[in-house]
Chain A
Amino acid sequence: MNVTDMLWTLLKVFIVVNVLMIHVAYVVYFERKVIGHMQARLGPMRVGWHGLLQPIADGIKLFFKEDIIPSQSDRPIFYIAPIIGLVAVLSSLAVIPLWEGFSIANLNIGILYILALSSVGAYSIILAGWASNSKYSFLGGLRSSAQVISYEIAMGLSLVGVMMLAGSANLTDIVKAQSEGWFLWYQPVACLIFVMSAMAETNRAPFDLPEAESELVAGYFTEYSSMRFGLFFMAEYAGMFIMSALGTICFLGGWSGPDFGIFAHVPKVVWLLLKIYGCIFFYFWIRATLPRYRYDQLMALGWKVFIPLALANIVVTGVIKLWK
């Protein structure tokens, strides 16, 4: 690898990360609008036309707020926890193929890489909960660590079916293997488990127990303020974006789209983004529809339903693959 290649990669990283951050800001706006309309409200309307500048206003506000640090907290860990979270999420972006032949790193272990980083991301929540030295934060952190570990297993097992069908863990190869039909149709059970586990992984409703506001104030980030809170916020929404991208690539055919007539001229990345935003809309739809789970129900669902179901799915997929 020479210097030009390195600079070129750095430029790609810079562009992709910045584009993602803009998307993340507007995913928040999208959520507020969608939830607003589902609850017969208008959502943000004041800043700019139909509130379009709201994310920028929010960002500026967070940036200039006072940074409060609890006096009894463990400072180095308190500082580093939100950074771990955001770095883990942004690093997973490296293996996502945006269109044919474009991903920052085309790894053979693409799926495993994303799973590894999502497990590193769990540290940010646990450490934030512990370092804040507050009961609410600590309970939120403990809940989250148990939840993330449990659902990571189910998520990994549900993706094994996809890897078996594609014969590879490389995300580009997985998209190419879906040229005949989306894996959604071949792996419906795995897809269902993946969607649920992704919601639990990113701490989204109805599995948002680590930050259940009615019992834990705000869970693990109760003691955080200003931009440190902003980092958690960005990590959560970027995590949703990455999980939607992974789901799109593994089950919805990635960047592929109709290639007849006028559709053939549409850039492939547009199809990918449309599918990702479809998945994100689904997240919001679920949030607006379902109430929060109870904690023991959540753990029972993960261990007693999803993991056995995912294992059975692997066996069935294997048998069918041998049959053919």
Chain B
Amino acid sequence: MTAPQVFFSYFAAMITGLSLLVVTRKNPVHSVLWMLLLFVHIAGLYLFLNAEFLAAIQIIIYAGAILVLFLFVIMLLNLRKEETEKRFQRQWPLGLGIGVVLMMFLVPVLGNISVVPPLGPYSVDAIKSEGHIMTVGKVLYTEFLLPFEIASVILLVAIVGAVVLAKRRLE
């Protein structure tokens, strides 16, 4: 195996394993912590693809903001009962069986497909020459300006909605 393959296999194996840990832990706080480790590994995968800006944003937004809020909510809810109950419904072996069978069909089929992506102007060398932040910024604010603005308006609507819900009394 070459070095990139070793790196990728490490990240892929860890991401799969950590995802399993997230859904199987009894203590919700432990689940969130495994998820933190999972996010760090996803950021590592981004770094591996030369997307350093995405990697930093992955940590700042997902690990630093969203997951902290998850943790905040989980700590405030009293989840003692959850910890003693069974983690899964009775039919989980059936689900696992169907998943494995589907996998057995999909792996040979997908293995035979080779996709050659069309090469755009943003090759690895082009991104390296001016930096990832610069490239992402330019594309985001010229080519994809409208979708970007729409996304920010949607977020603004969500914020306004949250404020309205949180405010008991509106004058």
Contacts and interface: CB of A to CB of B under 8 A. Distances in A.
B65 A108 contact: no
A119 B56 contact: no
A120 B64 CA distance: 6
Interface of B: 27, 29-30, 33, 36, 52-53, 55-57, 59-60, 63-65, 68-69, 71-72, 75-76, 131-133
A27 interface: no
A108 B133 contact: yes
Interface residues of A, number: 28
Given A108-B131, A115-B60, A119-B59, A77 B33 contact: yes
Contacts of B29: 74, 77, 130
Contact of B64 (A109, A113, A152): A152
B60 A116 contact: yes
Contacts of B30: 77
A193 interface: no
Contacts of A119: 59-60, 63-65, 68
Given A108-B131, A130-B29, A123 B52 contact: no
A146 B57 CA distance: 20
A145 B63 contact: no
Contact of B59 (A77, A120, A146): A120
Nearest to A153: B65
A130 B75 contact: yes
A149 B65 contact: yes
A113 B132 CA distance: 14
A141 B55 CA distance: 27
Interface of A: 74, 77, 107-109, 112-113, 115-117, 119-120, 122-123, 126-127, 130, 138, 141-142, 145-146, 148-149, 152, 156, 168-169
A123 B68 contact: yes
Contacts, number: 71
18 contacts: A108-B132, A109-B52, A109-B133, A112-B60, A116-B56, A116-B63, A119-B68, A120-B59, A120-B64, A126-B75, A127-B33, A130-B75, A141-B75, A142-B75, A145-B71, A152-B64, A156-B60, A169-B133
Contacts of A115: 56, 60, 64
B143 to A, nearest CB: 20
A68 to B, nearest CB: 22
Given A115-B60, A130-B75, A122 B53 contact: no
Nearest to A127: B33
A148 B132 CA distance: 28
Contacts of B60: 112, 115-116, 119, 156
Contacts of B36: 123
Closest 7 pairs (CB-CB, A-B):
A119-B64, A112-B56, A116-B59, A109-B56, A116-B60, A108-B131, A109-B52
A170 to B, nearest CB: 8
Contacts of B57: 112
Contacts of A138: 75
A95 B53 CA distance: 15
B68 to A, nearest CB: 6
